Amino acid sequence: MILLVALLAGLLAGVVLALLQKHAWQVPSLRHLWLVVIGFLPQAVIFYIPSTRSRIPDWFVGAGLIVSQVLLLAFCWFNRRVAGIWILACGLVLNLAVVAANGGFMPISPQTASHLLPATDLAKVQIGSRFGTGKDILLLPQNTRLVWLSDRFLSPAWSPYQVAFSPGDVLIAAGAFWLMLTQGRPWRSAN
């Protein structure tokens, strides 16, 4: 969700900036875009398709998330000269590090999770088990490797969609925003 908001905000800001500069906004020129599609495919199957997400074993989910992030990093490498990609890639690296260090899942603490689920539902989730059918695993902070990189931030209380996100997610969103704002061009040539 944070990525979608960043993309839309970057697009809107990029269009406004282009209009102020009296030129048309252009889609950023990206190479090997198929890597994004292939990289997102495991996440789509594992997390977003209701008929598959509850049937896939946890070991496969963890491996699928890691493979997905590696493919997205390959896309970033091929587009490393595009504005915003390095910020996005840094976020992917942070997320990959914490996910790989915690068995293929993004850790979330019971305290953070308590803001997302009613207490009665959260009480049913065992520490060390998958948090719903998403990418998160419920872990105590003292049992979490790279805890400072885990899903620890929350969307604002006024937001209709409550979600937890990581520092890596913030960088991914910032990189996507910058990419859309600058149309993928270095800032000095975007002006």
Mean pLDDT of 148-169: 94
Separation of alpha carbons 107 and 43, rounded Å: 17
Calculate the average pLDDT of the chain. Answer: 92
23 vs 107, more confident: 107
Q: Find tokens 């594992």 and name the residue.
A: 46
Residue 98: the pLDDT is 98
Separation of alpha carbons 69 and 36, rounded Å: 10
Residue 40 confidence class, pLDDT cut points 50, 70, 90: very high
Separation of alpha carbons 46 and 55, rounded Å: 9
Decide if 176 is inside a domain. Answer: yes
Decide if 53 is inside a domain. Answer: yes
Residue 53 confidence class, pLDDT cut points 50, 70, 90: confident
Separation of alpha carbons 168 and 146, rounded Å: 12
Residue-range definition of the domain harbouring residue 94: 2-13+31-183
Residue 46 has pLDDT above 90, yes or no: no
Residue 161: the pLDDT is 86
Decide if 20 is inside a domain. Answer: no
Decide if 145 is inside a domain. Answer: yes
Separation of alpha carbons 60 and 189, rounded Å: 44
| Model confidence pTM above 0.75 | yes
Q: Which residues of 27-41 are buried (b: 16+ CB within 10 A; e: fewer)?
A: ebeeeeeebbebbee
Residue 185 confidence class, pLDDT cut points 50, 70, 90: confident
Separation of alpha carbons 10 and 185, rounded Å: 13
Residue 134: the pLDDT is 82
105 vs 57, more confident: 105
Listed as own residue / partner, the contacts of 51-54 with beta carbons closer than 8 Å and 24 or more positions apart are 53/133, 54/133
Decide if 189 is inside a domain. Answer: no
Q: What is the tens place of the pLDDT at every residue in 75-126?
A: 999 999 999 999 999 999 999 999 999 999 999 999 999 999 888 999 999 9
Decide if 19 is inside a domain. Answer: no
Decide if 104 is inside a domain. Answer: yes
Decide if 22 is inside a domain. Answer: no
Residue 190: the pLDDT is 46
Mean pLDDT of 162-190: 88
Residue 187: the pLDDT is 56
Residue 146 has pLDDT above 70, yes or no: yes
Separation of alpha carbons 68 and 35, rounded Å: 9
Residue 189 has pLDDT above 60, yes or no: no
Give CA 96 to chain center in angstroms: 10
Output the CA–CA distances (angstroms, integers) from residue 141 to 62, 105, 144, in the order listed: 20, 14, 5
Q: What domain count does the chain have? A: 1
Output the CA–CA distances (angstroms, integers) from residue 30 to 93, 111, 114, 158, in the order listed: 20, 40, 40, 35
Annotate 89-100 with three-state secondary structure: HHHHHHHHHHHH
